Structure 1
Amino acid sequence: MAMNKKQLLRSYATGERKFVGIKLSEFDLYGINLCGADLSDIKLEEFDLARAILRGVILRNAKLTDSCLDSADLTGADFRGANLRWSSFNCANLTEADLREATFESNSFYKASLIGANLQGVNLRDANLQEANLSGANLEGAILTKVTFDNTIMPDGSIRTEND
C-alpha cells in the first residue's frame, strides 16, 4: 500500500498502528511521532527521520539504508533483521533497542545512547561510536573491526578511546 506522510499521520491519529510493508512517497519525516507503530518490512531509503519519536516502534526486516535518524528517540525499538547500512544515528536514543541480526555498514552513532541495547552478534565494522554510551549493552559476538572509539562508555562502564 502506498501512502504519503499526511495519510500516514491521519491513520496513526485514528489509532492505526500496523503499517507493515507500506510504501511512503515522501522522504521528509523529520520529527514524526509514530510511537508503537509496526513498520516491519518498510523501505525508507534516504529518508530524513531526524528527531523522529519512534519509541517502541517495530522495524523488523525494514530497509533504512542511507537514512538520517539523528536525534531520534528509538527507545525500545525492534530493528531485528533491518538493513541499516550507511544510516546515521548521531545523538539518537537507542536505549533498550533490539538490533540483533541488523545489517550495518559505515554507520555513525556519535553521542548516541545505546544503554542496554542488544547488539548481540551484529557487525559494526567501520562504525563511529565516538562519545556513545553503551552502558549495559549486549555486545556478545559483535564484530568491532575498525570501529572508532573516542570517549565511548563501554558496557562495563569503562571509557574507551581509539588508542585502547
Structure 2
Amino acid sequence: MNVKRQSITVEELLRRYAAGERTFVGIEFSYSDKGLRGCNLSGINLSGSQIEVYMADINLSGADLSGANFSNTIFDRVDFYGANLTGANLDGVEFRRVSFQNTIMPDGSIGDESC
C-alpha cells in the first residue's frame, strides 16, 4: 500500500511547531537551502514521515520518530534523548556528534551512547 504524504517545507514545519503544533505524522520534506539547523523540536511527532534534509544542532529529545524514513540524512550535533526510533529507516544516514540516551533504537533496543 502506497501512502500519500503531505509535503511541507522546512520553514512551514518550523512555523507550525513555533505555534504549538507537535504532530506531523506522515509528512514529507527534503531540500532546504540551509537544512534544519539550531532548532528545539523536542516532543515532535514525525512518525511515518519521509525526511531527507541536513540536520544540525537539533534537539529531538522525546520525539516520536517511529517508522520515519531518514535515508541519506545527515545528523550533526543532534540530541535524541528519550526519542523513539522504532522501525525508523536509517539506511545511508550519517551521524556526527549525536547523543542517544534512553533512546528506543529502530530494533527496539535502548540506546545509551554518543557518537
The interval holding the TM-score normalised by the smaller chain is 0.7 to 0.9
Q: 1:39 aligns with which of 24, 35, 46?
A: 46
8 Å Cα contact 2:100-2:113 kept in structure 1: no
Query: How far, CA to CA, are the matches of 1:26 and 1:63 in structure 2?
Result: 15
Q: How many residues align?
A: 108
CA contact (8 A) 2:39 2:57 kept: yes
Residue type at the aligned position of 1:88: E
Q: Share of identical aligned residues, percent? A: 33
Contact 2:67-2:89 within 8 A present in 1 as well: yes
**Structure 1 equivalent of residue 31 of structure 2:** 26
Post-superposition CA distance 1:53-91 (Å, at most 9, x none) = 111111010000111112111111100000001212221
Verify the 8 A CA contact 1:100 1:118 in the aligned structure 2.
no
Residue type at the aligned position of 1:37: I
Partner Cα distance (1:36, 1:2) in 2: 21
By relative contact order (CA 8 Å, sep 6+), the higher-ranking structure is 2
Aligned-pair CA distance for 1:25: 4.8
Structure of higher CA gyration radius: 1
Q: Deviations over 1:125-150 (max 9, x none)?
A: xxxxxxxx749xxxxxxxxxxxxxxx
Q: Quick one: distance in 2 between partners of 1:31 and 1:68?
A: 14
Within 5 Å, give how 1:5-154 maps onto structure 2: 5-27=10-32, 28-45=35-52, 47-101=53-107, 118=110, 134=113
CA distance in 2, matches of 1:12, 1:92: 22
CA shift for structure 1 position 7? 1.2
The structure where strand makes up a greater share of residues is 2
- Structure 1's unaligned 5+ residue stretches are 103-116, 120-132, 136-151, 153-164
State the alpha-carbon separation in 2 of the partners of residues 43 and 8 from structure 1: 13
Structure 1 runs of 4+ aligned residues shifted over 3 Å read none
TM-score by length of 1: 0.59
Structure 2 unaligned residues grouped into runs of 5+? 1-5
